[in-house]
Amino acid sequence: MHTELTIHPVPVRAMNLPKLWYQNNPVKTHFFNALSTLFPQGENFFISSIRNFEHCARSPALKQQILDFVTQEKNHAAIHKAYNRCLARAGYDVAWMETLLHDKISFGQKHVPPLVLLAVTVATEHITAVLGEKVLQGDLVPEGIDPELRKIWIWHALEEVDHKAVAMDLFVEAGGTYWQRVRAMLYSATGICWDTSIRMFHMLKRDGLLFKWKTWWQLAELMFGKKGLVPLVTWDILRFFAPGFHPARHNNYGLVDHGRRLLGLEAAAGHFP
């Protein structure tokens, strides 16, 4: 990992969110918008879960990777906050979405052991890394969508792939177990599906599109189409359940440089475990 990756692809203050920025497709637009509404609080949750155990990191390399992880996630949270402000200005109830997630995270932080919260971070980081891989492979945010929004998603995706092993490495050093992370993935995967769906449905309803046949057709396409989420990500998510799973064993780090080139940046030198 490298901190030089932590650049904002677009100035936060100048962010502009076109209405249907994903090829005029409201379902795909709002799927990504819904993910965006989860990020600022989600990423702050990852940071605090990791900080709870940073003293367990023994190697200087992992200590540095934790610092880089925190910087990257803070930057993501900042840009997605600006993104979400655009959604609020467009009339979507972002405050309601933030309250829901705030209550859920606070409940967890009050009642769930910190190592379990770290396991949830490990599982969620795997999901974001898988989604990031698909973005960088050109399957989820292809050419032809709004170029500024594409930049943001590519930037976020490449940093998710870049730091995908950090939470897992720390979890192992902190004494986390296989069953803890398995249970965490079951919780995390269903939670993300639910949290994303209710936000997406809210935005489609607000646009007056929720009860149209075309919307449900587009939804089926997003889920089960040739490049739909189910065929794209299911197998990669399931790899997490293998007892010997470790994110770094799936070596897709070349995609980080690919993403940098898509953003017009030089490939970075000398990275990765």
Nearest to 87 by CA among 37, 121, 40: 37
- C-alpha dihedral over 18, 36, 230, 220, to 10 degrees? -40
Q: How far is the CB of 125 from Fe ion (least distance, A)?
A: 5
Stretch that binds Fe ion, among 158-166, 202-210, 228-236, 249-257 (CB under 5 A): 158-166
Stretch that binds Fe ion, among 131-139, 160-168, 225-233, 246-254 (CB under 5 A): 160-168
Half-sphere exposure of 159 (CA within 13 A, CB side): 26
Q: How far is the CB of 185 from Fe ion (least distance, A)?
A: 15
With binding defined as CB under 5 A, does residue 181 bind Fe ion?
A: no
Q: Which is nearer to Fe ion, 49 or 215 (CB)?
A: 49
Q: Which residue has the CB atom at the shortest distance from Fe ion?
A: 76
Q: Which is nearer to Fe ion, 28 or 76 (CB)?
A: 76
Q: What angle do CA 164, 174, 119 make, to 5 degrees?
A: 50
Nearest to 176 by CA among 124, 123, 111: 123
The residues that bridge with 145 in the sheet, in sequence order, are: 143
Q: Which is nearer to Fe ion, 92 or 155 (CB)?
A: 155
Q: Which is nearer to Fe ion, 97 or 130 (CB)?
A: 130
- The DSSP 8-state label assigned to residue 7 in this structure reads -
What is the C-alpha separation between 107 and 109, in angstroms, rounded?
A: 6
Stretch that binds Fe ion, among 27-35, 156-164, 191-199, 229-237 (CB under 5 A): 156-164
The phi, psi pair for 193, rounded to 5°, reads: -60, -45
Q: How far is the CB of 160 from Fe ion (least distance, A)?
A: 5
Sequence-distant (≥ 6) Cβ neighbours of residue 219 within 8 angstroms: 27
Among 2, 28, 30, 76, binds Fe ion (CB under 5 A): 76
Q: How far is the CB of 152 from Fe ion (least distance, A)?
A: 11
Q: How far is the CB of 24 from Fe ion (least distance, A)?
A: 27
Q: How far is the CB of 172 from Fe ion (least distance, A)?
A: 17
Residue 120 tokens, joined: 């949830």
Instruction: With beta carbons less than 8 A apart as the criterion, state whether 50 and 122 touch.
Output: no
Positions touching Fe ion (CB under 5 A) are 76, 160
